[in-house]
Amino acid sequence: MRVRLSEIKLRPTGKKVRLDRDLDVESLFIGRGPDNDLSLKGLTISLHQATIRMSDGRVYVEAAPGQEVNVNGLVTQGERLGVGDKLKIGPWEIRVLDPGANADVSLEYEEIDRADSERAALDSRTKLGLETGLFARRPLAWAGVGGVLFAFLLLPLFWGGAQTPWNTGPVSRGHAYVEDDCQVCHSGFFRPVANADCMTCHHDIGRHAPADLAVADLEGARCADCHLEHRGREVSLADLGSGFCSDCHSDLSTRVPQTDLANASDFGSDHPPFEIALVTDPTEEAVSVELTPERVEVSGLEFSHLRHVGQAVTGRGDSKQYLQCGACHQPDAGGFYMKPIEFETHCQDCHRLDFDSTAPADLVPHGDPARIRERIRGFYSARVLNGEVKDAAAPRRLRLRRPGARLDRDEAELSRRWVEEKLAAAERRFFERPGTCDVCHTLSPGTASDGGMGISPVRIQEVWVPGSVFSHDSHAPFACVKCHPAAAVFDPEPESSLTRPSWSQPGMIPYELVAREPSTPVSEESGDILIPSIETCRECHAGAKASGGTKVPSPCSLCHPFHIRELGPMRSVQAEATEEPMPDSDLPAPSAEEVEDEPRRSNEASIDHDVHRNFFDQFNSGYVQSAL
Amino acid sequence: MIGPRTFLEYERYRYLKVAVGVLLLSLVIYVIEDPPGGRSGSSWTGYGLGTVSAATIFWLMWLGIRKRSYASTGAPLKGWVSAHVYLGTALLLLVPLHSAFEFGKNVHTLAYVLMCIVVFSGILGVAFYALVPTAMTRNRNNITLDAMLERIAEIDSECRLAAEGLPDYYARAVVTSIDETRIGGDLRSQLSGKDWDCGTSRALRSLRSSDVDLVGDAKAQERKLVELIARKELLLKQIRRDVRFKGLLDLWLVVHVPFAFATCAALLVHIFVVFWYH
């Protein structure tokens, strides 16, 4: 078999050259080994890869045992070859050409998958550097910036639902219900929360100082300056730290020279004596005076605690019981102060105002003597009209009258005279006989609204220390006498077997029966003042900074609210200071009188709204205000 | 520790002293001030510390520009890096003082968290610069990476020659060793410094376990081939260690820079939001 082999070689210059050689062999061996007729370089080629041989004028290719050849792209063990066929062995391509006359087979071979240099190949398999693709600094930085701006700025700007991450922290419990509704408080863009925003709800929050005092530190102050929100669900907005009050009040006299409040910085060590609202003339408002042992109240009423407490009386239902504090003094619903004493409730069981022995159940109303006279006239006139005159001293015609018959002129005159006689008798009973009205009241002839016998004015002070808030409830474990020693309840019959109500009995004002000794203070006079002094409080209460001792650390806010509703709503201060139109400005402002009428107050401290809500509710109900 | 010392000890720790001074001053102001309602980011101290912190962050970002301006005649880059490292680290405490240690699940704390990632990646970077270059130099043993790669290429062509007359089994091993040996690759491969499926190692194993009996010339060729591939394997280990070191020196920056930009974005959102809703 004559074979023409042509190698196509690539010169370094880039030119291709053709090298021909002719062989005459039985079969043409192809492989990597040097012993082959056609030895091809390339480690992927077998030492002996394939054989080309001729048979009956036809050319065949055969793979060596265990090898394969690629003919025209198809892998095969053997194949007949024709002109134009292409063999692929390793990086080499062997093309079958027209052999012409001088050869039986003509093959052209060329290294087509020519590997570049080993280094270039190695470089192609080498990947260095961390920053590949998106994992490069610049794309990552853009992604970070874009992601943050989109998720936390753009999205929340156009969709309120995505604003949660803007929230700097949970709002306090009281505001939690509007936490997701930022605009409730943050009403303006790039504007701090205004007082108007707060006062949309807190419209009647009280001022701290009277408007005419013009305290510079308070004028124009923002609610949010002191009440910091977004600090946690359980953080109190009113907890402003121990120094908050004393910052100003420790030298208030220099800061606010026009005030008549004394300086105070600590309850235990630097607090003025209590000031009480004292009635010195029942026709005048109470005056604010320092509480001293010499003070005497002139309420227009005669009353002796000594003659009442400890008395064994027969109460309703004929059960014998002691008159103790709780018989007259009952705490109000909020547990702060005592309900007002009422004649009908507290006195009338013993001090009955009946006027006719034939009708012991008929009582005159306690109060204005003119109304008493009206009631008595009405009572006897009704007897005449109803034909019920049984009085032996009454004129016979009146006694024999039929009920419902018209009164003729004589009868009317008789009746009028008789009624006036009865009235005069009753008046004598009430006003002239000792032991009725004059037990408690001073009679004042001619001062009643009908010109008759009148009663001198009486003024009962209900809240004695209006500058503070005091909760009797908080002190419930202690007997009254602990703080009001002159109100001791003496055991009148120490040896008797009377059932003594326990002071821990539910609903019972606690008291102790004490054995009377000469040194025991007693309140015998109506002018006695039983309000304890600051020393009494200091037996248990120390200043706010006290710790480790046995006394109760007592910050200013324990007794003193910051916002004092009676001084008027705070917004008036704000409106003047910020000149902003306030919402709800149509709410009635307190009249000047109301403000003037306020007793002097010790204005200090923040207020724990929860604790004092009841107190404010009382203000709303008008109860405390009416008492002031 | 040669690299970082040049900037850590710059001017006798000048910027360490500055950073500690700033921190102490902030701490004293923070402790002394007792605003109504308690300490917070919205007290005057809070605003002050916030302004200082934000200004510091934007100044730290400036290093990225300063380090590229080779014509700068201002303070030497060493000084800049020194201040960058110390003031950046100081932010870890300065920012919580600004917020009065209030954190939450919000964009404000996100800004701080991102900043912490930046700072800690920076600290990691300093640590790498302190430890890696020494190990890297020792590993390189006065040869550059390029020279090592060139040597691999040489070994590859020597292997081809050596395997030319050897049976297919050997040829296949050489092809495996050449074609299936990769250097570097993804993050994990680069940082691990290993290739558990390295073609060269596989080739070496198969050559060593070969049960083909060769004689004469072929025997010598075989021994030469095994020796070449063993040498290549050692060289590859060296290269991969080098790649790992280089990766470590780059890795922190891949975190540091993008997170720094993200921090700035979060910081801008933080400032926008607190002044909108304040």
Whether residue A622 is predicted with pLDDT greater than 60 in this model: the reply is: no
Phi and psi torsions of A108, nearest 5°: -120, 130
d(CA A135, CA B246): 16
Q: Lowest mean pLDDT of A52-61, A196-205, A477-486, name the range.
A: A477-486
**Using a CB-CB distance cutoff of 8 angstroms, which residues of chain A are in contact with residue B33?**
none
Instruction: Give Cα A605 to chain centroid, integer Å.
Output: 18
The percentage of residues in chain A with a pLDDT greater than 70, rounded to a whole number, is: 83
Q: How far off is chain B from A587, nearest CA to CA, in Å?
A: 28
Give the residue from A20, A31, A27 showing the smallest Cα distance to A2: A27
pLDDT at A458: 92
DSSP-derived pairing of the beta strands A541-543 and A552-554: parallel
Whether residue A599 is predicted with pLDDT greater than 90 in this model: the reply is: no
The per-residue pLDDT for range B224-253, each reduced to its tens digit, is 899 999 999 999 999 999 999 999 888 888
Q: Does the beta carbon of A91 lie under 8 angstroms from any beta carbon of chain B?
A: no
Q: Does the beta carbon of A36 lie under 8 angstroms from any beta carbon of chain B?
A: no
Whether residue A616 is predicted with pLDDT greater than 80 in this model: the reply is: no
Cα diameter, chain A: 182
Q: How far off is chain B from A137, nearest CA to CA, in Å?
A: 5
pLDDT at B163: 86
pLDDT at A95: 94
pTM, entire model: 0.62
pLDDT at A494: 59
Between the alpha carbon of residue A67 and those of residues A77, A543, A601, B109, the distances in Å are: 7, 104, 113, 68
pLDDT at A617: 44
The pair of structure tokens assigned to A77 is 């063990």
The per-residue pLDDT for range A79-112, each reduced to its tens digit, is 999 999 999 888 899 999 998 888 899 999 998 8
**Using a CB-CB distance cutoff of 8 angstroms, which residues of chain A are in contact with residue B261?**
141-142, 144-145
* CB-count burial class (<10 Å; 0-12, 13-18, 19+) for B38: middle
Among the partner-chain residues B36, B156, B272, the one whose CB lies closest to the CB of A226 is B36
Q: Is A168's CB within 8 Å of B172's CB? A: no
How many CB atoms lie under 10 A from the CB of residue B205? 13
Confidence of residue A129 (pLDDT cuts 50, 70, 90): confident
**Using a CB-CB distance cutoff of 8 angstroms, which residues of chain B are in contact with residue A244?**
36
pLDDT at A594: 41
Among the partner-chain residues A126, A143, A228, the one whose CB lies closest to the CB of B37 is A228
The per-residue pLDDT for range B28-50, each reduced to its tens digit, is 999 988 776 678 787 888 999 99
A615 contacts: CB under 8 Å, gap ≥ 6? A334, A336, A469, A561, A624
Calculate mean pLDDT across residues A565-579. 61
Phi and psi torsions of A40, nearest 5°: -110, 135
Beta bridge mates, A276: A289
Give the residue from B183, B153, B177, B182 showing the smallest Cα distance to B226: B177
Provide the ipTM. 0.85
**Using a CB-CB distance cutoff of 8 angstroms, which residues of chain B are in contact with residue A41?**
164
Residue B201 and residue B177 in contact, taking contact as beta carbons nearer than 8 Å: no
Q: Is A193's CB within 8 Å of B171's CB? A: no
Give the residue from B77, B75, B84, B28 showing the smallest Cα distance to B56: B84
Helix axes B107-140, B77-98, angle to 10 degrees: 150
Q: Higher confidence at residue A518 or residue A93?
A: A93
Confidence of residue A282 (pLDDT cuts 50, 70, 90): very high
Q: Does the beta carbon of A409 lie under 8 angstroms from any beta carbon of chain B?
A: no
Size of interface A-B (CB pairs under 8 A): 164
Residues of chain B with pLDDT under 50: 1
Whether residue A224 is predicted with pLDDT greater than 50 in this model: the reply is: yes
Calculate mean pLDDT across residues A451-460. 90
Q: Lowest mean pLDDT of A88-102, A103-117, A325-339, A498-512, name the range.
A: A498-512
pLDDT at B9: 85
Q: Higher confidence at residue A513 or residue A151?
A: A151
Between the alpha carbon of residue A416 and those of residues A366, A369, A419, the distances in Å are: 25, 20, 5
Residue type, A194: A
Chain A stretch 164-183, residues whose beta carbon is closer than 8 A to a beta carbon of chain B: 164-170, 182
Q: Is B250's CB within 8 Å of A130's CB? A: yes
Q: Does the beta carbon of A222 lie under 8 angstroms from any beta carbon of chain B?
A: no
Q: Is B107's CB within 8 Å of A127's CB? A: no
Among the partner-chain residues B167, B251, B272, the one whose CB lies closest to the CB of A130 is B251
Q: Residue B266: enclosing H or E segment and its boundaries?
A: helix B216-276
Residue type, A73: G
**Using a CB-CB distance cutoff of 8 angstroms, which residues of chain B are in contact with residue A166?**
106-107, 273, 277
Among the partner-chain residues A169, A193, A241, the one whose CB lies closest to the CB of B36 is A241
Q: How far off is chain A from B17, nearest CA to CA, in Å?
A: 32
